[in-house]
Structure 1
Amino acid sequence: MARYAKEHKQVTRQRIIEKAGHRFKQDGIDGSGISTLMADAGLTNGAFYAHFASKDDLVANVVADELRTQVEKYDTLRPGRQGVEDFVRGYLSPEHRDRPSTGCPSAALLDEIGRCADVTKQAYTEGATAIVEEIAARLAPADPQSARGRAIGLFTMLVGTLQLSRALADRKFADEVLEQGIENARTFMP
């Protein structure tokens, strides 16, 4: 009985984290109250504190989970530079731009993460480091450290390009920004 309860609690906790991730990316961290987050997970407000000490605790867990999931998806890419090109094309696609709730947490939440508690910034730092390391390893498999600067440049360019494209009301201009971003990404992939 106790094992079932523990497993059930973990499943419930993960459901809250996943639903909160979608909601945060859609409405923002500040625009998502605990009652809405718990309703999304099909739970009552009272259940929240059985899983998280505070909203900051939830936010840090969501950020860590979102970035970990993003890094895990890189395993499905082709090896080396081809995988980086696939990643860039998917990241700077109209589909990704138009569905922030299922996309990259960096592009959706970066401005808010900068104002979050240190625990969230630490979770983001660890996740962003893992992303940069993954990109660097694909850019220079024999010596990833040599590609760290290019990996940082590529990651920051991708996030900023997607954010700009999302902010534009002119769809043609927004698409042009994405297309130019794909071209610009090539400069990081000699």
Structure 2
Amino acid sequence: MARYSPEHKEATRRRMIETAGRRFKSDGIDGSGIATLVADAGLTNGAFYGHFSSKDDLVATVVAQQLADQVAIVNALPAGSDSVEAFLRDYLSPAHRDDLAGGCPSAALLDEIGRCDVAIREAYTVGVNAMIEAIARHLDDGDPQRTRDRAAGLFSLLVGSLQAARAVTDPALSEQILAAAYANALAIAGAHPGTTSPLTQESP
């Protein structure tokens, strides 16, 4: 029997993490069984257990990777208020609100993560700390504690607002939540609004 190369095994693992991340965010952690997760990645149950010891192991890995990817995006933003404003506008856009599978892991999974086992919550904790630090680098005002407090507040405002905008059934209220969050996020960040607000962006 032919053995797969380390590169092939790593590519398979990455594919599993990526497809599981989309499935978890769209259907929920509890709503995603192993059979569905392996089918999404084009694998078998046996192949799954060659990479992960359990579904919880996969969830912790996905949470860590999703947040690491998000941190990388924030870290890659050019310095200055313009890039912060653009990030806030994109995060609080109708397009992001409507894209559960491709969007923020915190907004999609936070309620479930709070009920998960400690390994998953620890993975989330590490990721959130890194995210707050990444945001803080763009908000640095010379006072480390105040800067971190602003970053933590901004992170919490973004996640909670996106969750609320997704949860309500009234489209006008959903858009109001996004617009109000955008204005408050700008105030926390000390950024200035550009010519495009979240509500003028078209949803996919």
* TM band (smaller chain): over 0.9
For 2:107 and 2:114, the matched residues in 1 are separated by 12
| TM-score normalised according to structure 1 size | 0.94
The reply on whether 1:60 has 2:37 as its aligned counterpart is no
Which residue in the other structure is 2:195 paired with?
Answer: none
Which residue in the other structure is 1:80 paired with?
Answer: 80
Which residue in the other structure is 1:164 paired with?
Answer: 164
Give the superposition deviation at 1:145.
4.2
For 2:141 and 2:20, the matched residues in 1 are separated by 35
Which residue in the other structure is 2:202 paired with?
Answer: none
The reply on whether 1:134 has 2:113 as its aligned counterpart is no
Give the superposition deviation at 1:162.
0.2
Once superposed, what is the RMSD of the aligned Cα atoms?
1.6
The size of the alignment, in residue pairs, is 189
Amino acid at match of 1:45: N
Which residue in the other structure is 1:120 paired with?
Answer: 120
For 1:113 and 1:80, the matched residues in 2 are separated by 33
Which residue in the other structure is 2:14 paired with?
Answer: 14
Q: Say whether the 8 Å CA contact 1:136–1:145 is kept in structure 2.
A: no
Q: Say whether the 8 Å CA contact 2:23–2:101 is kept in structure 1.
A: yes
Amino acid at match of 2:88: V
| TM-score normalised according to structure 2 size | 0.88
Stretches of structure 2 lacking an aligned partner (at least 5 in a row): 191-204
State how 1:26-105 maps to structure 2 within 5 Å. 26-105=26-105
Please list every run of at least 4 consecutive aligned residues from structure 1 whose deviation after the TM superposition is greater than 6 angstroms: none
Summarize deviations over 1:3-33 as a string: whole Å, max 9, x none. x621111110010000000000000000000
Q: Say whether the 8 Å CA contact 1:77–1:83 is kept in structure 2.
A: yes
For 1:45 and 1:84, the matched residues in 2 are separated by 43
**For residues 61 and 141 of structure 1, do their structure 2 counterparts lie closer, same or farther at Cα, with a shift above 3 Å needed?**
farther
